[in-house]
Each structure stands twice: as C-alpha cells, then as structure tokens.
Structure 1
Amino acid sequence: MEELTLKKRQNFILSIMGFIVPSLVIIFIIVIFYIGVSQISRSTEKKQEESLYTAVERDIVQCYSIEGIYPPSLEYLEEHYGLVYDKSIFFIDYRPVASNIYPDVTILRVKGAGLRS
C-alpha cells in the first residue's frame, strides 16, 4: 500500500515538473526577447536623434551659404529646405539669435513610455 502511494506521489511530482520546467523556459525566452527588442529600440532612437541633429545643422549651414542669413525659424527650414522629422518623438527647440549668428538648437525626446526610455 505504501508503495502505491509513493508511486502516485512520484508521478504527481513528475507531472508538476513536466509543466513547470517548460513554462519557466518559455518565460525566460520571452524576457530575453523583450530585453533585446528594448535595446534595439533605444539604439535606433539614438541614431534617429543623431541623424536629425545632423540634418538640422546641414540645413542651417546650407541656408546661410545660399541666402546669407541664418533661418529665422524651424518652420522656415521645413518649408524651404525640406526638413522632415517625427514630431511625436522629437521636439526641436530652435532659437534664432540674429540673422548673422548661428541659432541655438536643442533636440529633445518627447516620448518616454513603452519601449522607449
């Protein structure tokens, strides 16, 4: 009789282990995948920010070399020099000083939720 309950107990433990171990492996894989996607997202957003800063600088210098003045506003760069960026992700603080002094440009990330941090 004791042998029968011992076998039942062993079978019960094995069936629980057969469920728990694969579940833990799946959870581990999901966590690793999520961390990888988050890292890629942060890296991509950083590269977008660098590209945007380079594009703004290029357009400012191009405007000055063609027109002899620095752009009066960010909208001027968008209209006349084709500056395009995702306004839901980035905010550009553009402050012109004078027509012959390089403007103060700051690029900030707007989003901080979700995968972006």
Structure 2
Amino acid sequence: MEEISLKKKDNFILGLLGFIIPTAVIVFILVIFYTGVSQIGESTIEKQESSLHTAIERDIVQCYSIEGIYPPSLEYLEEHYGLIYDKNMFFVDYRPIASNIYPDLTILYIGKKRARLSP
C-alpha cells in the first residue's frame, strides 16, 4: 500500500514538473522576444530621428549654397527642397536667426498619434 501511494506521489511530482518547466521556458522565451522587439523599435526611432536631422541640415546648407541665404522657415524647405517627414512622429523647431547665420534646429520625438475614425 505504501508503495502505491509513493508511486502516486512521484507521478504527481513528475507531472507537475512536466507542466511547470515547459511553461517557465515558454514565458522566458516570450520575455526575451518582447525585450528584443522593444529594443529594435527604439533603435529604429533613433535612426529615423538621425536621418531627419541629416536631411534638414543638408537642405539648409543646399539652400544657403544656391540662394545665398538660410531658409526663412521649415515650410520653405518643404516647399522648395522637397523635405518630407512625419509630423505626427516628430516635432521640428526651426528658428532662423538671420539670413546669414545658421538657424537653430531642434527635433523632438513625440510618438505616433492614432487617428480616430469618424463614424
């Protein structure tokens, strides 16, 4: 009788371990996957911000070299030099100082805003 209850106890423990260990492994893999995806997303945003900064600086210098003055506004760069960026993702603060002094440029990540669908 004692042998039967010990076998039942051993089977219960083995069954419990057979459930807990695979579950823990799956949870661990999901945590690693989520962490990796988050880091890739952050890296992509940093690269987009860097690319936008480079593009705006390139357009500023190109405008100065062609026209002899720095662009009066960011809209001027969009209109005449084809600057395009996601305004829902980045805020660009462009402050011209004078026509012959390099403007002050600040780019801030504001995140994506979801557009609401109207009924």
- Asked if these proteins are the same fold (TM beyond 0.5), I'd say yes
- Residue 111 of structure 1 deviates from its aligned partner by 2.3
Stretches of structure 1 that go unaligned for 5 or more consecutive residues are 113-117
For 1:4, give the aligned amino acid: I
Q: Tell me the matched-pair count.
A: 112
Counterpart in the other structure of 1:115: none
Tell me what 1:37 maps to: 37
| Cα distance in structure 2, aligned partners of 1:88 and 1:2 | 71
TM-superposed deviation, 1:9? 1.1
Residue type of the partner of 2:59?
D
Identity of aligned residues (%): 73
TM superposition outliers: structure 1 runs of 4+ over 2 Å: none
**Equivalent-residue separation in structure 1 for 2:109 and 2:22 (angstroms):** 40
Partners of 1:82 and 1:20 in 2: CA distance? 58
Partner Cα distance (1:89, 1:7) in 2: 62
Q: Could you tell me how far apart the structure 2 residues matched to 1:72 and 1:49 are?
A: 22
User: How big is the shift at 1:38?
Assistant: 1.4
> What is the RMSD computed on CA atoms of the aligned residues?
1.3
2:90 alignment partner in structure 1: 90
- Aligned partner of 1:49 in structure 2 is 49
Within the alignment, does 1:24 sit opposite 2:42 as a pair? Answer: no
After TM superposition, the score normalised by the length of structure 1 is 0.89
Matched, 1:71 2:43: no
Which letter does structure 2 place at the counterpart of 1:34? Y
| Whole-Å separation in 2 of the counterparts to 1:23 and 1:11 | 18
Q: Which one-letter code corresponds to 1:22 in the other structure?
A: P
Higher relative contact order (CA 8 A, sep 6+): 1
TM, length-normalised to structure 2: 0.88
The CA deviation at 1:104 is 0.2
